[in-house]
Structures are given as C-alpha cells and as structure tokens.
Amino acid sequence: MQVRLIVSPYDSGQKLKRMGRGPDRLLGEGLAAALAADGHSVELRRIDLGEAFPSEIAVGFAAMRAVAEEVRVARDAGALPVVLGGNCNTTVGAVAGLGCAEAGVLWLDAHGDINTPDTSQSGFLDGMGVAILTGRAWSALAHSIPGFAALPDERVVLAGIRDLDSEEATLLADSAIAVVEAANIGEAGAAAALETALAALAGRIGSLHLHLDLDVHDAGVAPANHFRPPGGLAPDQVGAVIDAALARLPLGSMAVTAYDPAVDPAGVTAAAAIDHVRRAVRARAQGGGLRDSA
C-alpha cells in the first residue's frame, strides 16, 4: 500500500522547536523504515512555510492550509496520508484535505481542545483544534483552508480525555460530540467503552480521520510533552482503541501530534507511536472498517 508521510514541524508558530521536533524524531526512530518493512511504499513530504517573522496564529493556519493540500494530493494519488505534526490543529487541515463532506474524526487526546478565544485562559491556539474543526472558532481563517467546512458534532468522537478546563467541560456538555474518557476505557476496555460512539459514527461517515495526540498516553509510562495531566492510557490500551475503531470504520487519514522528544529521552513514546501508525496502516491495507456495501 502507498503511504505518504506529511511532516509539519511547527509548534506555536515556531519551526523545529519543542513539539515541532517530534516528527523528525519519529522518522529518526525508524517510522518510514518500519512501514517499508511491513511491505508498504512510503513517500515523504515536508512542509516548509518559509516564515521570516512567524506568529502563532498566522503560521498555525498556514500549516493547516499546507497540510490540507498535501492530504488532498495524497488522497487523489491513492495514498494513505499520515500527518506528523507538531500541533494538534494540523488535523483541521488533514480533515479538509480528506473531504469534510463525508469525514468523521476519532480524536485521541488527554485534552478536549475545544477552547475558543473567548474561553481560553492561555491563548494557546493548539487548545482550539476541535473548536476550529466544528466551526466554533476562527471561522474566517478556517475557511481559508482549502476544502474546509465545519464538521457536525455528531461526526466527532473524543476519546481518552482526562483534563478539561471548566469552560471546555461546559462546551462539551452542551454539544453533540461523543466523549469517552480515559477512565471509561480503563474500566471497561476499549471495545466496550467505544461501542456506542463508534456505532453511531459508522452510520454517519464515509471515511475516518484518526487523530493521535501522544499525550493520550499515561505520562508515567510514555511521556509525550510538558502538558502532563495525571493518568492516561497505556500504549496497549491506545492500540486497542485503534483496533476497535478501524475494525468498524474505514481509515482515510491519520495525524500523530504533540510529541516533544525532550521529555522522552529513552524513546518509549516514539516506539509506541510507530507501533500505532503501523497498526493503523495495516488495518487500512487489510480493508479494515470497509462496509460490504462500499
């Protein structure tokens, strides 16, 4: 199978700093080689925005636009787009490139990422990815992304979350976004905890974008970045979530984000991330989630 790795090495407008260094660490730890060893044809595309005077918001949306175009080109070529991004909001571009008209999203993250400029206490654009995706924030800039259209809440599932601002909790409670907390997955197991949400999503979408913020992992086991809420999922639990989703839903694209190599000197999280990508690509290659009627 053809896999196109799309590298967007930006974090908060800065290139190759903090989480912007994550994509190259995953490549350095052998992601492309592992996929090739699995029998896939792997191509690498690197986004370079060439910003002389970067700012978080302008560069963030420029990266989303570039990712959207790269994902569209990969999709049209019959390749599976796998985005390696510094920030979570690159998924907005990926979904736009995949095709908002029929896409759904499984968003694995420790956080809700549904703050808006009016609710955010930090001003961190990367805490607004779900809000942008669902049309709650930055509407004018979002519509500058090729192919963007706000995704209905019913086509978004947040899984593994364990750290919400009070404003985010209110926004989610008032939304139709399905939320499956880390504690639910730990207690019931991935398949049981996600059963209802995945069944509903399967009836609404044509393809799935799998978003993997690596801080969905328990930082005591697989640290991903300096945002370290307690608890979280072990790598095998994250793998079980991916398996459960892709047994039911056809994978259209994937993003791996929010990984700062500085907090993972032993490479434990990098190894887990590579395993997750291999697992997802294998499911796609084997036709996982494809409906009989498709």
Q: What percent of the chain has pLDDT over 70?
A: 98
pLDDT of residue 262: 98
Give the global pTM.
Answer: 0.96
Q: What is the pLDDT of residue 226?
A: 93
Q: Which residue has the tokens 């991916």?
A: 242
pLDDT for 126: 87
Say what the pLDDT of residue 53 is. Answer: 83
Other C-beta atoms lying within 10 Å of the C-beta of residue 225: 24
Instruction: Give the confidence band of 289 by pLDDT, cuts at 50, 70, 90.
Output: confident
Q: How far apart are CA 69 and CA 93, in angstroms?
A: 8
Neighbours of 30 (CB within 10 A): 15
pLDDT tens-digit readout, 44-100: 999 999 987 889 999 999 999 999 999 999 999 999 999 999 999 999 999 999 999
**Angstrom distance (rounded) from CA 252 to CA 284:** 8
Residue 120: φ, ψ to 5°: -70, 135
pLDDT in tens, 90-144: 999 999 999 999 999 999 999 999 999 988 978 888 899 999 999 999 999 999 9
Is residue 100 domain-resident?
yes
The answer to whether 108 and 241 are in contact (CB under 8 A) is yes
Amino acid at 74: A
CATH number at residue 79: 3.40.800.10
Whether residue 133 lies inside any domain: the answer is yes
pLDDT of 290: 64
- The one-letter code for the residue type at 65 is R
Number of compact structural domains in the chain: 1
Distance in angstroms (rounded) separating the CA atoms of residues 186 and 209: 23
Reported confidence tier of residue 293, pLDDT bands at 50, 70, 90:
very low
Distant-in-sequence contacts of 214-219, Cβ < 8 A, 24+ apart: 214/22, 214/256, 214/257, 214/258, 214/259, 214/269, 214/272, 214/273, 215/109, 215/110, 215/111, 215/258, 216/108, 216/109, 216/110, 216/159, 216/160, 216/182, 217/269, 217/272
56 falls within a domain: yes
Distance, in Å, from the CA atom of 130 to the CA atom of 155, rounded to the nearest integer, reads 12
146 backbone dihedrals φ, ψ, rounded to 5°: -60, 125
Residue in this structure with the two tokens 């291999």, named with its chain if needed = 278
Rounded to the nearest integer, the mean pLDDT of the chain is: 95
- Tell me the β-bridge partners of 5: 44, 82
Q: Is 83 a member of any domain? A: yes
- Reduced to 3 states, what is the DSSP secondary structure of residue 258? coil
In a domain, 293, yes or no: no
Q: Which domain range does residue 136 map to?
A: 2-285
pLDDT higher than threshold 60 for residue 294: no
β-bridge mates for residue 82, sequence order = 5, 254
Answer yes or no: is 294 within a domain: no
- Asked whether residue 292 is domain-assigned, the answer is no
Per-residue pLDDT tens over the stretch 129-141: 999 999 999 999 9
- For residues 155 and 6, what is the distance between their CA atoms, to the nearest angstrom? 24
